[in-house]
Amino acid sequence: MFENIYGNRKTVENLKNSIESDRVSHCYLFSGEKGLGKRTIAKAFAKALLCEGEEGMRPCNKCRACVKVDKEEHHDLIFVGHEKPNTFGVEDIRDGLNRDIVIRPNEAKRKIYIIDDAELLNVQAQNAMLKTIEEPPEYAVIMLLSDNKESFLPTVLSRCVEFNMMSVKDRELIAALKERNLYEEVMESYITEFAGGNIGRAIRLLTDEVYREKVTNVDKVLQELPRMGINDIREALPLLGGREDMDMVLSRMQVYFGNLLKLKATDSQTARGDIARQYSYEDFPRIFGEIEHFRVRMKVNVNADLSLELLLDAMRPKA
Ligand SMILES: [Zn+2]
């Protein structure tokens, strides 16, 4: 019934059960890095909640309501957006959620709000939202989608039923690509390694040229690192640029050094093997630790460029 959802079986089961037993909550939080399908699952759940098909068979994917949800044209499915690119402010919540939610549903029994980029909600916006999620109208369901749940006030978190989106198995990833006619056998091992179970990331690699170029740049910078001085690193920063794809950059780094360690252990006589030999065995755990450290620091919003510079510097072989 929840078609097109790969992996995340437990979450899907939970959501299905909540519908079947009529125990739907008023507030949900779907969390997980970009590309893991938060929006896909939220939309499928919304579709099931708004579906006019036979009970126990929802979403039927055929009725008027299902078709409208697919096209994002259902009047009782509202996507709450934000005006400024990097913040979700109090006005966005007042206009998009608080003022609208008091109006009864247009055509369905429920009214559903999907708030994407919820990690950008500032404290005032969260406080403005709090009153609504504390006492929502009985017909309302609010779904927060976020790649960083650390950004929420505990009072908001405690009101939400939370689901963590998980990466999928390689065979599920491949099935998802086949379904979209994006699968190419020759690319299989590269793509599964690159995506690490993140379907969205694989799709982007295969469909977005600018993104693909960025990935190539990350790989180039990593390979050049042993030869780079601190000035070269500073010059290379814009190539990896911006917070927005940092998940990809960090996972790329992890995969790269994981492979390098294997090449070192097998004393590979390739160009990559030569790079690997420039690192000592002590370098690897240190580098993996730095990547994790950086990941944590990103979540608390430190100056991304500066810490990326430090990270790359720490990734050079220490003689
Ligand atoms: Zn339906």
At 173 the pLDDT is 95
Q: How far is the CA of 164 from the centre of ligand 1 (A)?
A: 26
Please check whether residue 225 lies inside any domain of the structure: yes
Sheet holding 77-80, edge to edge: 77-80, 111-115, 140-146, 27-31, 161-164
Q: How far is the CA of 55 from the centre of ligand 1 (A)?
A: 10
Q: How far is the CA of 1 from the centre of ligand 1 (A)?
A: 10
Q: How far is the CA of 142 from the centre of ligand 1 (A)?
A: 20
- Model-wide pTM > 0.85: yes
Residues 133 and 249 in one domain: no
Residues 186 and 228 in one domain: no
Using the 3D structure, point to which of 150, 184, 207 is the last residue of a domain. 207
Q: How far is the CA of 165 from the centre of ligand 1 (A)?
A: 25
pLDDT tens per residue, range 114-171: 999 999 999 999 999 999 999 999 999 999 999 988 889 999 999 999 999 999 999 9
- By residue range, what is the domain housing residue 110? 9-164
Q: How far is the CA of 180 from the centre of ligand 1 (A)?
A: 23
Residues 121 and 146 in one domain: yes
Residues 228 and 295 in one domain: yes
Q: How far is the CA of 312 from the centre of ligand 1 (A)?
A: 51
Please check whether residue 83 lies inside any domain of the structure: yes
Q: How far is the CA of 60 from the centre of ligand 1 (A)?
A: 4
Q: How far is the CA of 175 from the centre of ligand 1 (A)?
A: 24
Q: How many domains does the chain have?
A: 3
Q: How far is the CA of 66 from the centre of ligand 1 (A)?
A: 4
Token pair listed for 161: 């039923």
Please check whether residue 132 lies inside any domain of the structure: yes
Residues 118 and 192 in one domain: no
Q: How far is the CA of 121 from the centre of ligand 1 (A)?
A: 32
Residues 119 and 84 in one domain: yes
Residues 173 and 156 in one domain: no
Residues 39 and 147 in one domain: yes
pLDDT tens per residue, range 178-237: 999 999 888 899 999 999 999 999 999 999 999 999 999 999 999 999 999 999 999 998
Residues 198 and 224 in one domain: no
Please check whether residue 1 lies inside any domain of the structure: no
Residues 229 and 304 in one domain: yes
Residues 146 and 219 in one domain: no
Using the 3D structure, point to which of 134, 149, 164 is the last residue of a domain. 164
Residues 16 and 155 in one domain: yes
Q: How far is the CA of 90 from the centre of ligand 1 (A)?
A: 34
Residue written as tokens 């008027």? 64
Q: How far is the CA of 48 from the centre of ligand 1 (A)?
A: 7
Using the 3D structure, point to which of 130, 164, 198 is the last residue of a domain. 164
